[in-house]
């Protein structure tokens, strides 16, 4: 393995070309946020749009709301996903045919998920009807508002429904390998199945879990479909706000959208970098593959 | 799309336009959320232009703000042959398009049917939300705001804002309206303003927030009074009219509304609304507007677009559009310009279930506000009512 | 006798099947406290399965397993007091050497001070002091082997189960590890079962040997006895290439095509087994030397007559050459009779 | 025993919570009215079927467009990912860790942010409104997934079989065709499936880059979801799910006919 | 001499480094056509690296490799005419037994009929007929080994390189495989280099042995010569535990604490090496028997005096018991002198 060889760079060329387009897109957006948008007659660098966006009190609220949505949904999804992965491995369910049903939500786009949530959890949804049927509630109003509410319960539910299977798909495979092998070893050394899971299986799955966590976290932070279709009128999640600004018919309004976009980019990349360093640290500890 | 050589066609000769348009495809962009509307375009209009002009219509379902966005993007990149040939537009969006030089025109003079069937001097054809059209748009259809409820479930049909308040008090938590800037929700707020302060007090307002605020203050107070009796105590509102419709269909609320007077018929027909649903309007009237068709400045197939617009303006198309099962959109042709045979096309149309007769609608029809005042009202609503 | 000695481990008619295949068939085994037992048998015969069943990782379909006289049916893995050292070691890659060895004690809640003392002692005793902080990926194969061993012995299990502990080591490392296991056994007296396919392991370390084939124990007894008096050809063959002479015994005389000899067995068809080291060659006879192989400290000589081949191990073979004609000679007390089915 | 039953129950509940919402989609596809407080629809109609298969709506065309774009994206993404994954896993080079990080970006940064910035570039390069442009954009957002899946497979098999092939006299081409590709096949199918799923589900990106010229299923479906026509929206969703699964199954079966392997990422 | 015999393989001062570490240092080696060479050496000494360099998988930093007299610098792997059988076999998992063996010939465009004939013959010769259609996962370890071998020999390589071909096999399977390789060699005469760490392999199969340590060849010569006259302690130690007596030679007499003896070497400090099998014990003396190990066909006896331990291998030890006092005896011609550095 020669470090100076050109071969790997050549092999990476196509992927890098794609990435270049991607990064061009990001930079282009960021430039526009500083008021550099020729076609709208804007070509002076200015922080105007930022200061105005920050002055409008809604921004911090939007960031807060988005962070809460993504943090809560991702944490719930990861916990559920890991627990289910564990149970699925334990019961051998991963090898059953019915397990495939569990992968279905991965295929379903978020806009459809939104309708699912409304069908089930709105005040006239199936769950409310069931409660009504069972006499738990007398009218629709008594059903806890889960959709279009300021706590974004519906949005969170939607994300959880879609993300848990994704986590299971990634984690269960890895987990069943570790659990069958090293988990057995741990039990044999006196650990109960639960302790074996906590001390051995979980730490070894951690890199993959962290990986999916960062993916779903940043995704739910930046996606507008669910909060737009299931969120309340106010407050608005950051991506929804950005989307609304972006679709503002005035071209000169574009920089406002790009300011919000830039803020999202900065926040997500900050998380990604934090993740990258964290995972590097952990990977140094857990070189499962190198060892196998 | 178009294969015609731009500039080579003498558009004052409609025959030449049709010749250039023959065999081309027109990319028709517009809102696509209604099965009926889509179906009418796909099944009637498309068929008509195919048979008569040999033109294909490619309907692209897209919201108008997104369409404008696309046009702006193309302009930003200096695209000469754009992807949009024909666009369904009106009001504020038309204003934006004009301000950004996005539209082709004036073109109405090229259309034989425009002069032939349309009352070119009526305000509704000359102005779009208070903006002068100047031949950059051709009328497509007319709409009017109506309320919808089910008299069998809740007998009272409110004749005014005051009655509506009582109604809401009686059925606490089961009345609401979509949050502006939803198109219908915004219209609802304007209707309330008309009813409380009167159309004349607001129709000449300029786009000055202070001035607007002072003018509509009584209506804002009314909405504040209404708020606690609304669905979820007015803490949140349906974000789209669709959501409100579904809530009405499911019985979660007892009243909905629409900017399409025939909407109720369509919903009853598909079984979504209860059979006994009925539209109603305030005694002081409700807002009506006209929606239009326009051609982007960089359209690749201008001739095709012209031909399609001309087709839209035929009595046949206008009448088939008026049929409730097809769409139920109010016609824009001037009845006085039609011959008997053509008039018969319209009189033969049976209005749908729950729809108010056209005479009542037209007699209680109020004009739209200036387009640039609308966002200011929406902003005020956000600040005063929402928070 | 049986009832008097407390058995550390007793298997009674244990049958195990995996995925519908019966892997172990009515296996019975008794191990006394402090003994070292070696399990021998060809690949796939069920050795690992047996260990896993004893440890509770697999569950038997029928039969009973007693550890220190207690029926272990339903006792979960972690409560059996048995520890396996797996063939593939299964060291925890996210822990260093010390943490690996410490793991079991930590789980048991042993106080920190005691833990550190015990773990350090164990690490020293397997000769790994100084490597405590190393990651598992940073130590060699032989060192890993020792970590796995240390990890098991710190727990002072009732039963230590070693699954082919030396199979992937150099000859010299193997010798050292064997010494290590014996030393540890001497110190701790832990009852130990070792799976191996090296007869040298078995003979050097085991008190008793169990030879398995196709899920059954063919023979179980003291190491030397099993080796010297194999109960069947199958057992004998496991210890290397043997020489067999097929013939008949009629009134206390064994007749075969190469010799006849007095035989202390009843009449019938027999195969007579002579080990390569017990067969000697003489200068005269009608066998021909086919091949001479130099093994370093010995020679392996192959002779042939009438299509029958025989192997002889000799300390030196200065007097013999390829293709030379030779005779054979053996001590009749060293031969073993296996009765064959009459055809 | 109680514990086992409890675990079984949880697994069952998990399954139910997946199946029920999907079942509702199925029911809504044929329900014309389903008012409060009924647990079952009061009226059924075939309005959804008519809309989708009636021929006028273009839904069937959109379905083909979606599948075309999806397959194009998947093929493209996989082709790009193979060398990239191999470079990362089998070579040591300067900037490896940066590349690793950059390859994660398209999944980290909101697709909308990137799409808004990229639109003008695509318009300028005439990629806008073309299927190829849409495929390109979809490929970019699929790459993090496909590269990672391929990287896992590459790590698992390494390059030892290739070296073996060289040793047996095979040249680069033979080795690629007869050894590398067949061995990577399970990973290829997984990566392909993932990219296909991602492409199928894209709305905003397709809409910005495809304009109206590339009308995929989500583009047709979105207005109905927005306008709240539940029956038609459900029918679109249903068909969307079905066609996605059908394509995935077919590609899996096709590949399995030529290469036998145990399992892939998406199918087990 | 050198110039006259055409060498099948010649390495001249080959140096190889990986990732900045020099793994092979100035290795030179000459192999004649038709020879079998065994490479011995402890784990990590560079045996596999050497094979890979010969095959062209790794490139030397300096030095030359000639195959059939032709400089192979820059010749790619697939054109060298060398074939390695890797230790981990690397059978193609997506092909069956037949296809695996066929692969190399197919690549070379050998006509189908001839291919089928050759492949079938090879499969038969390794005793796998009937398993042609089996998947690789459906055959046992020993069978896989043979498939790998067959896959290599059908290509009739100029050089066959086997990397620890028997290391993971049962003793009896190992014997069988050794026979197989020797048979194939007899039939084809392919020049073969075998990496192993089992001296038995080396002594049985090799014409010449090369013993490596830390990237260098310590000694290279005919098998018996290397074993019997190791050039250094390091080489000798590789073949097992030896007995060393440290002492001085003064005017042709070797003095050490346990004995003195006539010595045919110049004055100096020496270690005298006696192999365990060459050391004998007598009934009288002041050594004590520390340990007796039964190895099946031999006994290993450990004796001790003044803290020095020695090993003895004996065919039987009926006359000796643990803790008995004994003396030692040996044939002076069997001992080897290693000169030590003076302190
Ligand atoms: N999970 C399993 N499913 C089905 N069969 C299995 C399974 N595990 C082992 N076996 C079979 O059980 C038999 C015994 O396996 P086991 O691992 O106990 O053999 P072993 O004696 O340890 O062999 P080795 O010396 O190769 O380790 C083998 O024939 C094997 O194929
Ligand atoms: N890819 C590599 N990068 C760095 N060092 C390596 C690499 N491969 C091998 N080495 C080092 O080169 C040395 C020789 O390795 P090689 O595989 O040739 O040993 P070997 O003699 O075959 O040992 P074994 O008997 O264990 O197979 C070892 O010390 C090893 O650590
Ligand atoms: Mg085993
Ligand atoms: Mg090696």
Distance, CA of C119 to CA of C123 (rounded, Å): 6
pLDDT tens-place string over residues E202-259: 888 999 999 999 899 999 999 989 988 899 988 888 887 789 999 999 999 999 988 8
Q: What is the CATH number of domain C7-238?
A: 3.40.50.300
| Nearest chain D CA: its distance from A263 CA (Å) | 10
- Among E41, E71, E46, smallest CA distance to E58 is for E46
Strands (E), chain B: 25-30, 56-61, 86-89, 127-128, 131-132, 138-144, 146-149, 255-258, 278-280, 286-294, 365-366
The reported pLDDT for the residue numbered B1 is: 40
| Structure letter (DSSP) for residue B296 | B
Average pLDDT in the C38-49 region?
A: 87
pLDDT tens-place string over residues E285-326: 889 998 888 887 788 899 998 888 899 988 878 888 889 999
Closest CA to ligand 1's atom 31: C44
Query: Quick one: CATH architecture of A57-291?
Result: Orthogonal Bundle (1.10)
Distance, CA of C336 to CA of B43 (rounded, Å): 99
- Among B309, B183, B177, smallest CA distance to B244 is for B177
Are residues B112 and B308 in contact, defined by beta-carbon separation less than 8 angstroms?
Answer: no
Q: Is the dihedral of CA B319, B321, B322, B324 positive or negative?
A: positive
In chain E, what are the helix, strand and coil shares in percent, each to the nearest 5? 25, 40, 35
Are residues A259 and A33 in contact, defined by beta-carbon separation less than 8 angstroms?
Answer: yes
Q: What is the ipTM of this complex?
A: 0.80
Average pLDDT in the E144-163 region?
A: 92
Q: Six-digit token pair at A167?
A: 């986590």
Is residue A73's pLDDT more than 60? yes
Are residues E65 and E53 in contact, defined by beta-carbon separation less than 8 angstroms?
Answer: yes
Distance, CA of C307 to CA of B61 (rounded, Å): 90
The answer to whether the bond into B181 is cis (omega within 30° of 0) is yes
Is residue A287's pLDDT more than 50? no
The structural domains of chain D, ordered by start, are 1-45 (no CATH), 59-259 (1.10.3720.10)
Q: On the CB side of C58, how many CA atoms lie within 13 Å of its CA? A: 22
The reported pLDDT for the residue numbered D268 is: 35
Are residues E86 and E165 in contact, defined by beta-carbon separation less than 8 angstroms?
Answer: no
The reply to whether residue A189 touches residue C103, judged by beta carbons under 8 angstroms, is yes
Query: Best mutation site among E40, E296, E300, E301 for testing chain C: the one with the most C CBs within 10 Å?
Result: E296
pLDDT tens-place string over residues E88-113: 888 998 889 999 999 999 988 999 99
Average pLDDT in the D151-173 region?
A: 86
E333 lines ligand 2 (CB under 6 A): no
Distance, CA of D195 to CA of D75 (rounded, Å): 8
The reported pLDDT for the residue numbered E2 is: 47
Are residues A168 and A101 in contact, defined by beta-carbon separation less than 8 angstroms?
Answer: no
Distance, CA of C233 to CA of C130 (rounded, Å): 49
Average pLDDT in the C7-24 region?
A: 90
Distance, CA of B254 to CA of B234 (rounded, Å): 15
The reported pLDDT for the residue numbered C215 is: 92
The reported pLDDT for the residue numbered D246 is: 94
Average pLDDT in the A270-281 region?
A: 83
- Ion ligand 3 nearby residues (CB, 5 A): C 48
The DSSP H or E segment spanning C285 is strand C279-294
Distance, CA of D55 to CA of B335 (rounded, Å): 34
Average pLDDT in the C122-126 region?
A: 89
The reported pLDDT for the residue numbered E38 is: 94
b/e burial code for range E221-245 (CB count within 10 A of at least 16 → b):
eebeebbeebbeebbbbbbbbbbbb
Helix (H, G, I), strand (E, B) or coil at A149: coil
Query: Residue A288 — pLDDT band, cuts 50, 70, 90?
Result: very low
The reply to whether residue E199 touches residue C293, judged by beta carbons under 8 angstroms, is no
Distance, CA of B26 to CA of B85 (rounded, Å): 6
The reported pLDDT for the residue numbered D1 is: 60
Q: What φ, ψ does residue B247 adopt, rounded to 5°?
A: -65, -35
Distance, CA of D65 to CA of D199 (rounded, Å): 11
The reported pLDDT for the residue numbered A291 is: 29
| Positions of chain B with pLDDT lower than 70, given as ranges | 1-7
pLDDT tens-place string over residues C168-225: 676 777 888 888 899 889 988 999 999 987 888 888 899 999 999 989 999 999 988 9
Q: Quote the percentage of chain C above a pLDDT of 70.
A: 97
Please tell me the distance between residue E260's alpha carbon and the centre of ligand 4 in angstroms.
Answer: 43
Q: Six-digit token pair at B211?
A: 């001035």
The reply to whether residue A123 touches residue B97, judged by beta carbons under 8 angstroms, is no
Total beta-carbon pairs less than 8 A apart between chain A and chain D: 249
For D236, E104, E197, E299, E305, the CA distances from E311, given in Å and listed in that order, are 84, 50, 22, 10, 12
- Size of chain D, expressed as the number of residues it contains: 268
Residue of chain B minimizing CA distance to D224:
B33
Are residues E43 and E238 in contact, defined by beta-carbon separation less than 8 angstroms?
Answer: no
The reported pLDDT for the residue numbered A272 is: 87
Q: Which of A189, A203, A286 sits opposite C83 (nearest CB)?
A: A189
pLDDT tens-place string over residues A29-59: 899 899 887 766 778 888 888 998 888 777 8
The reported pLDDT for the residue numbered C32 is: 93
Distance, CA of C161 to CA of C152 (rounded, Å): 9
Please tell me the distance between residue B10's alpha carbon and the centre of ligand 2 in angstroms.
Answer: 83
Average pLDDT in the D235-246 region?
A: 94
| Nearest chain A CA: its distance from C207 CA (Å) | 25
The reported pLDDT for the residue numbered A89 is: 85
**All structural domains of chain E with their residue ranges:** 7-238, 243-339
The reported pLDDT for the residue numbered D262 is: 55
The reported pLDDT for the residue numbered D264 is: 53
The reported pLDDT for the residue numbered D261 is: 59
pLDDT tens-place string over residues E69-80: 899 888 888 888
The reported pLDDT for the residue numbered C4 is: 56
The reported pLDDT for the residue numbered D125 is: 86
Distance, CA of E85 to CA of E161 (rounded, Å): 6
The reported pLDDT for the residue numbered A292 is: 27
Distance, CA of B9 to CA of B16 (rounded, Å): 6
Strand pairing class (C62-67; C7-18): antiparallel
Tell me whether the CATH fold assigned to E7-238 matches the one assigned to E243-339.
no
**All structural domains of chain A with their residue ranges:** 57-291
Structural fold of domain C243-339: OB fold (Dihydrolipoamide Acetyltransferase, E2P) (2.40.50)
Test site for ligand 2: of E22, E40, E45, E194, most ligand atoms within 8 A of the Cβ: E45
For A287, B383, C93, C102, C136, the CA distances from C139, given in Å and listed in that order, are 13, 68, 12, 17, 6
Q: Six-digit token pair at B246?
A: 């579904």
Q: Which of D92, D161, D185 sits opposite E92 (nearest CB)?
A: D161
Please tell me the distance between residue A205's alpha carbon and the centre of ligand 2 in angstroms.
Answer: 30
pLDDT tens-place string over residues C49-71: 999 999 998 999 999 999 998 99
Closest CA to ligand 2's atom 29: E44
Q: Which of C78, C135, C137 sits opposite A191 (nearest CB)?
A: C78
Query: Residue E5 — pLDDT band, cuts 50, 70, 90?
Result: low
Query: Residue A290 — pLDDT band, cuts 50, 70, 90?
Result: very low
The reported pLDDT for the residue numbered E239 is: 82
pLDDT tens-place string over residues A175-232: 887 877 888 888 888 888 888 888 888 888 888 898 889 989 999 998 888 998 888 8
Distance, CA of C298 to CA of D163 (rounded, Å): 40
Cα torsion for C259, C264, C266, C267, to the nearest 10°? Answer: 20
Are residues B86 and B300 in contact, defined by beta-carbon separation less than 8 angstroms?
Answer: no
E44 lines ligand 2 (CB under 6 A): yes
Is residue E1's pLDDT more than 60? no
The reported pLDDT for the residue numbered D263 is: 53
CA angle B41/B42/B46 to nearest 5° reads 80
Distance, CA of B52 to CA of B47 (rounded, Å): 8
pLDDT tens-place string over residues E29-67: 999 999 999 999 887 788 989 999 999 988 999 999 999
Under 8 Å CB-to-CB from E94, ≥6 apart: which residues? D182, D183, D185, D259, D260, D261
pLDDT tens-place string over residues C248-304: 999 999 998 888 899 888 899 999 999 888 898 998 888 999 888 888 778 889 999
The reported pLDDT for the residue numbered E342 is: 66
- Residue D56 or residue C36, greater confidence: C36
| Structure letter (DSSP) for residue E217 | E
| Structure letter (DSSP) for residue A91 | T
The reported pLDDT for the residue numbered A2 is: 47
The answer to whether the bond into B106 is cis (omega within 30° of 0) is yes
Average pLDDT in the C32-47 region?
A: 89
Q: Which ligand is nearest to the CA of E39?
A: 2
The reported pLDDT for the residue numbered A1 is: 43
Query: Residue E165 — pLDDT band, cuts 50, 70, 90?
Result: confident
Distance, CA of B104 to CA of C68 (rounded, Å): 97
pLDDT tens-place string over residues D47-101: 888 888 887 778 899 999 999 999 999 999 999 999 999 999 888 888 888 898 8
Are residues C182 and C35 in contact, defined by beta-carbon separation less than 8 angstroms?
Answer: no
Please tell me the distance between residue E163's alpha carbon and the centre of ligand 4 in angstroms.
Answer: 7
Q: Quote the percentage of chain E above a pLDDT of 90.
A: 41
Residues lining ligand 1, Cβ inside 6 A: C 18-19, 21, 23, 41, 43-49
């Amino acid at each position: 393995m020669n470090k100076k060889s050109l071969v790997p760079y050549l092999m990476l060329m196509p992927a890098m070309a794609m990435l270049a387009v991607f990064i061009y897109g990001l930079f282009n957006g960021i430039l526009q946020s500083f008021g550099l948008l020729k076609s709208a007659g804007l070509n002076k660098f200015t922080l105007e749009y930022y200061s105005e966006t920050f002055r409008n009190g809604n921004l911090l609220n939007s960031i807060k709301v988005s962070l809460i949505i993504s943090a809560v949904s991702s944490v719930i999804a990861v916990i559920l996903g890991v627990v289910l992965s564990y149970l699925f491995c334990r019961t051998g369910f991963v090898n059953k045919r019915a397990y495939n049903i569990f992968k279905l939500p991965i295929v379903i786009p978020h806009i459809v998920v939104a309708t699912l949530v409304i069908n089930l959890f709105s005040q006239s949804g199936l769950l409310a009807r069931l409660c009504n049927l069972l006499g738990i509630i007398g009218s629709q109003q008594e059903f806890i508002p889960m959709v279009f509410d300021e706590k974004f319960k519906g949005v969170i539910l939607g994300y959880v429904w879609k993300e848990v299977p994704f986590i299971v798909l990634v984690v269960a495979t890895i987990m069943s390998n570790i659990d069958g092998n090293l988990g057995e070893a741990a039990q044999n050394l006196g650990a109960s199945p639960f302790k074996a899971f906590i001390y051995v299986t979980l730490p070894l799955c951690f890199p993959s879990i962290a990986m999916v966590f960062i993916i779903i976290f940043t995704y739910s932070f930046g996606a507008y479909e669910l909060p737009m279709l299931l969120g309340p009128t106010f407050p608005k999640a950051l991506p929804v706000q950005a989307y609304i600004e972006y679709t503002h018919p005035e071209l000169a309004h574009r920089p406002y959208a790009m300011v919000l976009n830039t803020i999202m980019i900065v926040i997500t990349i900050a998380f990604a970098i934090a993740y990258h360093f964290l995972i590097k640290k952990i990977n140094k500890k857990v070189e499962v593959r190198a060892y196998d | 799309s178009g294969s015609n050589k731009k500039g080579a066609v003498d558009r004052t000769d409609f025959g030449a336009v049709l010749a250039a348009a023959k065999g081309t495809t027109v990319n028709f962009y517009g809102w696509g959320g209604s099965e009926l509307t889509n179906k009418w375009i796909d099944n009637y209009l498309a068929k008509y232009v195919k048979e008569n002009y040999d033109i294909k219509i490619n309907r692209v379902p897209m919201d108008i703000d997104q369409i404008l966005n696309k046009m702006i993007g193309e302009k930003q990149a200096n695209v000469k042959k754009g992807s949009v040939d024909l666009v369904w537009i009106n009001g504020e969006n038309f204003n934006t398009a004009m301000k950004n030089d996005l539209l082709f025109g004036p073109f109405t003079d090229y259309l034989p049917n425009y002069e032939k069937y349309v009352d070119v001097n009526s305000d509704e054809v000359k102005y779009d939300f208070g903006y002068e059209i100047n031949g950059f748009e051709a009328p497509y259809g007319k709409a009017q705001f109506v309320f919808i409820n089910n008299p069998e479930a809740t007998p009272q049909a409110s004749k005014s804002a005051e009655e509506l308040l009582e109604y809401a008090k009686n059925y606490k938590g089961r009345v609401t309206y979509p949050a502006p800037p939803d198109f219908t929700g915004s219209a609802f707020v304007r209707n309330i303003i008309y009813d409380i302060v009167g159309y004349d007090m607001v129709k000449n307002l300029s786009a000055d927030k202070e001035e607007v605020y002072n003018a509509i203050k009584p209506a804002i107070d009314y909405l504040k009074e209404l708020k606690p009796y609304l669905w979820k105590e007015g803490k949140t509102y349906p974000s789209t009219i669709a959501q409100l419709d579904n809530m009405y269909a499911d019985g979660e609320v007892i009243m909905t509304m629409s900017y399409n007077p025939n909407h109720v018929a369509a919903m009853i027909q598909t079984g979504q609304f209860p059979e006994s649903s009925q539209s109603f309007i305030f005694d002081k009237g409700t807002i009506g507007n006209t929606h239009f068709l326009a051609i982007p400045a960089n359209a690749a197939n201008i001739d095709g677009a012209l031909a399609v617009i001309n087709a839209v303006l035929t009595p046949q198309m206008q009448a088939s559009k008026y049929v409730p099962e097809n769409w139920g959109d109010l016609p824009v042709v001037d009845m006085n310009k039609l011959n008997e045979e053509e008039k018969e096309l319209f009189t033969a149309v049976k209005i749908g279930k729950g729809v108010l007769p056209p005479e009542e609608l037209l007699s209680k029809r109020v004009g739209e506000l200036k387009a640039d005042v609308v966002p200011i009202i929406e902003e005020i609503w956000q600040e005063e009512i929402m928070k | 006798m049986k009832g008097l000695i407390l058995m550390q481990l007793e298997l009674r008619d244990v049958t195990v099947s995996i995925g519908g295949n019966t892997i172990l068939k009515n296996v019975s085994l008794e191990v006394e406290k402090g003994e070292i037992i070696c399990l021998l048998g060809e690949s796939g015969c069920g050795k690992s399965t047996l260990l896993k069943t004893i440890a509770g990782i697999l569950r038997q379909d029928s039969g009973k397993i007693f550890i220190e006289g207690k029926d272990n049916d339903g006792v979960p893995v972690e409560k059996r007091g048995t520890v396996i050292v797996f063939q593939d070691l299964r060291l925890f890659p996210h822990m260093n050497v010390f943490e690996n060895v410490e793991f079991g004690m930590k789980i048991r809640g042993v106080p920190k001070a005691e833990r550190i003392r015990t773990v350090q002692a164990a690490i020293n005793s397997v000769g790994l002091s100084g490597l405590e902080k190393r990651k598992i990926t940073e130590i060699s194969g032989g060192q890993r082997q020792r970590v796995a061993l240390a990890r098991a012995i710190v727990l002072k299990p009732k039963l230590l189960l070693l699954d082919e502990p030396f199979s992937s080591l150099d000859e010299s490392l193997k010798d050292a590890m064997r010494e290590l296991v014996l030393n540890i056994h001497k110190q701790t007296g832990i009852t130990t079962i070792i799976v191996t396919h090296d007869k040298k392991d078995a003979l050097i370390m085991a008190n008793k040997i169990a030879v398995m084939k196709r899920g059954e124990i063919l023979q179980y007894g003291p190491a030397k006895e099993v080796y010297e008096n194999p109960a069947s050809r199958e057992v004998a063959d496991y210890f290397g290439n043997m020489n067999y002479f097929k013939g008949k015994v009629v009134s206390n005389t064994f007749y075969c095509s190469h010799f006849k000899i007095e035989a202390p067995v009843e009449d019938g068809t027999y195969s007579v087994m002579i080990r390569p080291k017990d067969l000697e060659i003489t200068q005269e006879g009608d066998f021909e030397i086919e091949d001479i192989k130099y093994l370093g400290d010995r020679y392996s000589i192959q002779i042939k007559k009438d299509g029958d081949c025989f192997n002889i191990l000799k300390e030196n073979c200065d007097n013999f050459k390829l293709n030379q004609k030779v005779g054979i000679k053996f001590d009749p007390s060293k031969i073993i009779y296996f009765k064959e089915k009459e055809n | 025993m109680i514990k086992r039953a409890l675990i079984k129950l949880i697994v069952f509940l998990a399954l139910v919570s997946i199946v029920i919402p999907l079942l509702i989609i199925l029911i809504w596809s044929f329900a014309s009215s389903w008012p409060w407080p009924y647990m079952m629809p009061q009226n059924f109609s075939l309005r959804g079927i008519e809309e989708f298969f009636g021929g006028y709506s273009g839904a069937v065309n959109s379905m083909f467009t979606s599948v075309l774009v999806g397959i194009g994206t998947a093929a493209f993404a996989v082709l790009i990912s193979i060398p990239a994954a191999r470079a990362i896993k089998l070579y040591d080079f300067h900037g490896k860790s940066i590349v690793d990080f950059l390859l994660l970006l398209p999944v980290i940064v909101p697709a909308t942010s990137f799409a808004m910035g990229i639109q003008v570039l695509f318009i300028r390069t005439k990629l806008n409104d073309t299927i190829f442009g849409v495929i390109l954009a979809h490929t970019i957002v699929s790459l993090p997934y496909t590269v990672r899946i391929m990287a896992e497979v590459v790590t698992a098999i390494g390059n030892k079989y290739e070296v073996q092939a060289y040793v047996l006299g095979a040249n680069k081409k033979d080795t690629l065709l007869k050894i590398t590709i067949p061995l990577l096949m399970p990973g290829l199918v997984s990566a392909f499936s993932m990219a296909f799923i991602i492409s199928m589900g894209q709305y905003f990106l397709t809409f910005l880059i495809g304009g109206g010229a590339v009308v995929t299923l989500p583009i047709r479906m979105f207005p109905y979801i927005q306008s709240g026509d539940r029956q038609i929206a459900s029918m679109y969703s249903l068909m969307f799910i079905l066609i996605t699964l059908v394509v995935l199954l077919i590609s899996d079966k096709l590949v399995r006919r030529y290469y036998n392997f145990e399992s892939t990422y998406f199918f087990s």
